[in-house]
């Protein structure tokens, strides 16, 4: 009997070894499902209206288009023939099955800090999603970026995989927040400025980044450009519902809230808020606003009162849950006005969540405000009611308009 049990045990561990940590245990699969929410895998790997995880819509990077792969367990077109080790390696080091190198649009530099046990849970979950046959040609980059081996050099320059190590001087909550922000949550993928090669500027973490013609604002404790004036509850409310007393998520963040953060555990959101409130900004002095008699400001004020004040009101206070506050708003005071220009040109719809189902929208003004109108009104907004930021130029508006038209 003893021998039989031992043999059975050996057989089991052999399967364990080849199949990795895949498990039928409910709590592993359920925990993996939560990891998929934390990591927002669906944001890229599920096409809008498409089958879950069967491949996403093309991502436009500065280097060309990449199409997120099919990560369902379909053996032909998905990851059904992968082992756990293939999966872990892809998620944490960017090296997929058979040594194929992924591009860092897949945020493996962030996922590298995930614990192996979390990645194993994720693997357990992905074994259970519906296999979908959908062949995806991920690499649509032009030469020379199309050479995947070039990522070897990129990794050598930019990537030093390191699992998260808690800071013993901080609370467990802070450490959990740091783990989520820098790991599965991969906040820095958008919110950290990038180098010329597209890598995070590590010493400027979370101080705002420009990606796909959006500017993801500074989310450090900077009280001018960042979210330093938000309380922990404000941060939690924003991530949980898509809105707080100042701000409403729009653009890519609306999707991140709808698909990911609104589904996070409250304790995790609070941990994230605790950590973000402790991330240092650049410490730069708050600039002085432009003089009130600046011609751009007087022209912009007239446009603002005519077009914007009905919702955002004449003092830039907006209205809770409906129209964002513009006074002292991080995105308004950002050095990079890309997102501001974009929402004026294109309009933008707020995130919809169960708690905040309204989904109010900013209408598009691109069709009836000229480049200089947009520049002036934004310059006015960026230099009124306590705001101070560099003027927006008509040239910036013209360039973004051209980019968006492509």
Partner 1 sequence: MARKLPRKDVVIVGLGWTGSILAHELTDAGLDVVAIERGPWRDTATDFNLAYAPDELRYAVRKDLFLQPAQEAMTMRNNVSQTALPMRDYGSFLPGTGVGGAGTHWNGHTWRFFPSDFVLKTHLTERYGAERISDLQIQDWGVTYDEMESAFDRFEYLCGISGKAGNLNGAIQQGGNPFEGPRKRDYPLPPMQMTYAPTLFAEAARSKGLHPFPTPSANLSGPYVNPLGIAMGQCTACGFCERFGCANYSKSSAHTTVLPVLMRKSNFEARTECEVLKINLSADGKTATGVTYVDVNGEAFEQPADLVLLNAYGLFNVRLMLLSGIGKPYDPSSGEGVVGRNYCYQTNAGTQVFFEGKHMNPFIAAGALGQTVDDYNGDAFDHGPLDFVGGAGLNCIPTNGRPIQYRPVPPGTPRWGAAWKKATKQYYNNTLTFSSQGSSYATRGNYLDLDPTYKDRFGRPLLRVTFDFPDNDVRMSNWISDRMQEIANALGGKQSVVAKLRKGWNSVPYQSTHNTGGAIMGTDPKTSAVNRHLQSWDVPNVFVIGASAFPQNAGKNPTGPVGALAFWAADAIRNHYLKNPGKLVEA
Interface residue list for partner 1 (CB under 8 A): 307, 310-311, 319-323, 347, 349, 352, 354-365, 367-368
Nearer of residues 277 and 312 to partner 1, judged by Cβ: 312
In the complex, minimum distance from the CB of residue 317 to partner 1, in angstroms, rounded to a whole number: 11
CB of 372 vs partner 1, minimal distance in Å:
17
Where do the DSSP E strands lie in 171-308? Answer: 209-211, 214-216
Decide whether 348 or 384 has the Cβ nearer to partner 1: 348
Q: How far is the CB of 44 from partner 1 (least distance, A)?
A: 23
Residue 64 has which token pair? Answer: 């060309």
Name which of 154 and 304 has its Cβ closer to partner 1. 304
Peptide bond into 144 cis (omega under 30): yes
Nearer to partner 1, 195 or 315 (CB): 315
Query: Smallest distance, Å, CB 361 to partner 1?
Result: 3
Considering beta carbons, is residue 13 or 354 the nearer one to partner 1?
354
Shortest reach from residue 169's CB to partner 1, in Å: 41
Tell me which residue of 43, 33, 39 sits closest to 258, measured CA to CA: 43
Specify the residue, 340 or 362, whose C-beta has the smaller distance to partner 1.
362
Query: Which tokens belong to 35?
Result: 């990891």
Report in angstroms how near the CB of residue 374 gets to partner 1 at its nearest.
13
DSSP character at residue 376: H
To the nearest whole angstrom, how small is the minimum distance from the Cβ of residue 324 to partner 1?
A: 12
Confirm if 297 and 382 have CB atoms less than 8 A apart: no
5: CB partners within 8 A, 6+ apart: none
Contacts 24+ apart (CB under 8 A), 126-130: 126/32, 126/36, 126/53, 126/71, 126/72, 126/73, 126/79, 126/87, 127/22, 127/29, 127/73, 128/29, 128/73, 129/52, 129/53, 129/72, 129/73, 130/51, 130/52, 130/72
DSSP secondary structure letter of residue 225: S
Q: Which residue, 258 or 387, has its beta carbon nearer to partner 1? A: 258
- As given in the structure block, the two tokens for residue 8 are 């059975």
């Amino acid at each position: 009997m003893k021998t039989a049990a031992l043999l059975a045990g050996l057989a089991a561990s052999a399967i364990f070894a080849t199949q990795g940590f895949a498990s039928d245990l409910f709590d592993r699969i359920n925990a993996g499902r939560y990891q998929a929410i934390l990591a927002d895998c669906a944001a890229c790997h599920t096409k809008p209206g498409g089958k879950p995880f069967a491949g996403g819509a093309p991502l436009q990077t500065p280097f060309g288009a990449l199409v997120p792969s099919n990560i369902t367990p379909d053996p032909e077109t998905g990851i059904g023939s992968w082992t756990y080790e293939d999966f872990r390696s892809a998620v944490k080091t960017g090296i997929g099955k058979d040594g194929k190198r992924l591009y860092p649009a897949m945020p493996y530099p962030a996922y590298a800090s995930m614990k192996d046990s979390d990645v194993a849970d994720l693997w357990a979950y992905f074994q259970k999603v519906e296999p979908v046959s959908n062949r995806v040609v991920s690499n649509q980059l032009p030469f020379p970026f199309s050479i995947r081996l070039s990522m070897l050099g990129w990794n050598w320059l930019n990537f030093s995989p390191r699992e998260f190590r808690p800071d013993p001087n901080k609370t467990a909550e802070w450490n959990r927040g740091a783990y989520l922000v820098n790991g599965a949550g991969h906040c820095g993928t958008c919110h950290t400025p990038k180098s010329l090669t597209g890598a995070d500027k590590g010493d400027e973490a979370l101080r705002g980044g420009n990606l796909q013609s959006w500017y993801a604002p500074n989310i450090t404790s900077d009280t001018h450009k960042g979210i330093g004036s938000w309380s922990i509850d404000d941060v939690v409310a924003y991530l949980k519902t898509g809105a707080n007393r100042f701000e409403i998520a729009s653009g890519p963040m609306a999707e991140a809230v709808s698909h990911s953060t609104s589904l996070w555990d409250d304790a995790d959101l609070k941990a994230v808020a605790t950590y973000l409130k402790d991330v240092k900004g650049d410490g730069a002095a708050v600039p002085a606003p432009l003089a009130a008699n600046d011609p751009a400001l007087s022209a912009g004020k007239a446009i603002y009162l005519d077009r914007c004040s009905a919702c955002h009101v004449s003092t830039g206070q907006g209205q809770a849950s409906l129209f964002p506050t513009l006074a002292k708003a991080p995105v308004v005071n950002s050095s990079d006005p890309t997102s501001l220009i974009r929402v004026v040109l294109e309009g933008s719809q707020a995130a919809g969540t169960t708690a905040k189902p309204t989904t109010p929208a900013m209408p598009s003004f691109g069709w009836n405000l000229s480049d200089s109108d947009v520049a002036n009104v934004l310059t006015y907004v960026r230099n009124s009611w306590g705001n101070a930021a560099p003027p927006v130029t008509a040239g910036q508006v013209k360039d973004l308009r051209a980019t968006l038209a492509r």
